[in-house]
């Protein structure tokens, strides 16, 4: 007899407890998801954007997805992006994740997902940094453009997976944000020199690993010559770089169709050239050896963010809490369970 699953609520505190300090483990999980997705063992439709005429900078995005293989799970992330939040000190994004039972379709968990989203984004970036630097001199000078929650998580996942930096540079349009991020770095005992830059060009030119994690809605970095030293660029916020910079670089994305839309920098480059030949491949292509990144060009990783990553990390959190007996189950959540009463 088919039975419905119980329904659990998972708080942000529980999510953070499960994920904190497990950067290598989450990195392995994220790599497994990329390989499953690259092998076609996933369903990851286009994201759906809810926009507001009276709030043009804001949006809420639905990311439905299904993941197969040993990580089998269905579900959806519902994530809001309200950049104006940062003016009052709130994070830009908030999110929930719904996990659905593949056998019955019934949802079995609702998880606070801003931490899950930040974790999968940061883990993906750290994985890309590691694999994209395999054919190059490993970067020792990192620069962060944008200093919010995502930047903090990326730094945590870089250092949590073995990265060490001789110098860490910081740039943000908000001096308070830059100072706050420097304070975070100092509290973590970050090694090497810490520099808050007041000039973006100086930060770019002095970094061989660049992390763009801003709330920019359109390109604000246009000068190709800033990248003459050929850094590795984690273009996480997707809309910072002018198309000309991408066209002068080697480009790796997480998923071509997902990334080349919604006025991202790669999408603008496609519109400018009329094609996608500037894309060298996906991160899965790099993981499986189908693509090797060059040593003598700037390399840009532009991840749109795949819903299957959220599902895998969310299921990991749920299953670990279930193993510990710490799930908050909502008894009687489903009510009408007989077709004919």
Place of tokens 């994305």: 253
The chain-wide mean pLDDT, for the chain, equals 95
pLDDT in tens, 33-55: 999 999 999 999 999 999 999 99
Inform me whether the pLDDT recorded for 99 exceeds 80.
Answer: yes
For the chain, what is the HEC assignment?
Answer: CCCCCCCEEECHHHHHHHHCCCHHHHHHHHHHHHHHHHCCCEECCCCEEEEECCEEEEEEEEEEEEECHHHCEEEEEEEEECHHHHHHCCCCEEEEEEEECCCCCCEEEEEECHHHHHHHHHHHHHHHHHHHCCCCCCCCEEEEECCCHHHHHHHHHHHHCCCCCCEEEEECCCHHHHHHHHHHHHHCCCCCEEEECCCHHHHHHCCCEEEECCCCCCCCECCHHHHCCCCEEEECCCCCECHHHHHCCEEEECCHHHHCCCCCHHHHHHHHHCCCCCEEEEHHHHHCCCCCCCCCCCEEEECCCCHHHHHHHHHHHHHHHHHHCCCEECCCCCCCCCCCC
**Mean pLDDT within 168-190:** 95
Residue 140: inside a domain: yes
* Tokens at 271, concatenated: 């519109």
Residue 30: inside a domain: yes
Residue 19: inside a domain: yes
Nearest to 149, CA basis, from 96, 93, 95: 93
Residue 218: inside a domain: yes
Inform me whether the pLDDT recorded for 1 exceeds 90.
Answer: no
Structural domains in the chain (count)? 2
Query: For the domain that residue 156 is a member of, what is the CATH number?
Result: 3.40.50.720
Query: For the domain that residue 87 is a member of, what is the CATH number?
Result: 3.30.1780.10
On whether both 219 and 325 belong to a single domain, the answer is no
On whether both 226 and 96 belong to a single domain, the answer is no
- pTM score of the predicted model: 0.94
Higher pLDDT, 191 or 268: 268
Residue 337: inside a domain: no
Please give the pLDDT value at position 64: 97
On whether both 220 and 267 belong to a single domain, the answer is yes
On whether both 56 and 140 belong to a single domain, the answer is no
On whether both 63 and 165 belong to a single domain, the answer is no
Residue 97 belongs to domain spanning = 8-116+307-329
On whether both 160 and 90 belong to a single domain, the answer is no
Residue 222: inside a domain: yes
61 DSSP β-pair partners: 49, 79
Residue 65: inside a domain: yes
How far apart (Å, rounded) are the C-alpha atoms in residues 181 and 185? 6
On whether both 134 and 283 belong to a single domain, the answer is yes
pLDDT in tens, 61-80: 999 999 999 999 999 999 99
- First and final C-alpha spacing in the chain: 18
pLDDT confidence bin for 339, thresholds 50/70/90: confident
Inform me whether the pLDDT recorded for 2 exceeds 80.
Answer: no
Inform me whether the pLDDT recorded for 341 exceeds 80.
Answer: no
On whether both 294 and 164 belong to a single domain, the answer is yes
Inform me whether the pLDDT recorded for 271 exceeds 80.
Answer: yes
On whether both 156 and 70 belong to a single domain, the answer is no
- The count of other CB atoms within 10 Å of the CB of residue 117 is 25
On whether both 163 and 269 belong to a single domain, the answer is yes
On whether both 147 and 24 belong to a single domain, the answer is no
Q: Which residues of 87-96 are buried (b: 16+ CB within 10 A; e: fewer)?
A: eeeeebbbbb
On whether both 146 and 229 belong to a single domain, the answer is yes
Residue 1: inside a domain: no
Pairing of strands 8-10, 48-52: unpaired
Higher pLDDT, 117 or 4: 117
């Amino acid at each position: 007899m088919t039975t419905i699953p119980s329904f659990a609520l998972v708080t942000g505190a529980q999510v953070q407890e499960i994920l904190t300090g497990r950067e290598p483990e989450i990195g392995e999980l994220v790599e497994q998801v990329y390989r499953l997705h690259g092998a076609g063992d996933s369903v990851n439709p286009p994201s759906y954007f809810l926009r507001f005429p009276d709030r043009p900078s804001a949006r809420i995005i639905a990311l439905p997805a299904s993941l197969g293989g040993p990580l089998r799970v269905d579900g959806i992330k519902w994530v809001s992006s309200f950049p104006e939040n940062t003016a009052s000190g709130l994070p830009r994004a908030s999110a929930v994740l719904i996990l659905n039972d593949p056998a019955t379709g019934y949802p079995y968990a609702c998880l606070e997902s801003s931490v899950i989203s930040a974790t999968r984004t940061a883990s993906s970036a750290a994985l890309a940094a590691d694999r994209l630097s395999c054919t190059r001199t490993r970067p020792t000078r990192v620069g962060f453009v944008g200093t919010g929650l995502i930047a903090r998580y990326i730094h945590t996942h870089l250092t949590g997976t073995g990265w060490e930096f001789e110098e860490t540079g910081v740039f943000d349009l908000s001096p308070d944000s830059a100072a706050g991020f420097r304070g975070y770095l100092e509290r973590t005992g970050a090694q090497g020199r810490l520099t808050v830059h007041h000039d973006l060009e100086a930060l770019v030119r002095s970094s061989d690993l660049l992390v763009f994690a801003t709330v920019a809605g359109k390109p604000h970095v246009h000068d190709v010559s800033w990248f003459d030293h050929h850094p590795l660029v984690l273009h996480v916020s997707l809309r910072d770089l002018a198309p000309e910079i991408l066209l002068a670089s080697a480009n790796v994305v997480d998923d071509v169709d997902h990334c080349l839309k919604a006025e991202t920098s790669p999408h603008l480059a496609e519109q400018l050239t009329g094609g996608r030949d500037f894309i060298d491949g996906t991160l899965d292509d790099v993981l499986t050896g189908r693509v090797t990144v060059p040593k003598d060009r700037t390399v840009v990783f532009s991840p749109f963010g795949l819903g299957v990553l959220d599902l895998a990390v969310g299921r990991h959190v749920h299953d670990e809490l279930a193993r510990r007996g710490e799930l908050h189950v909502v008894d009687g959540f489903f009510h009408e369970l007989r077709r004919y009463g």
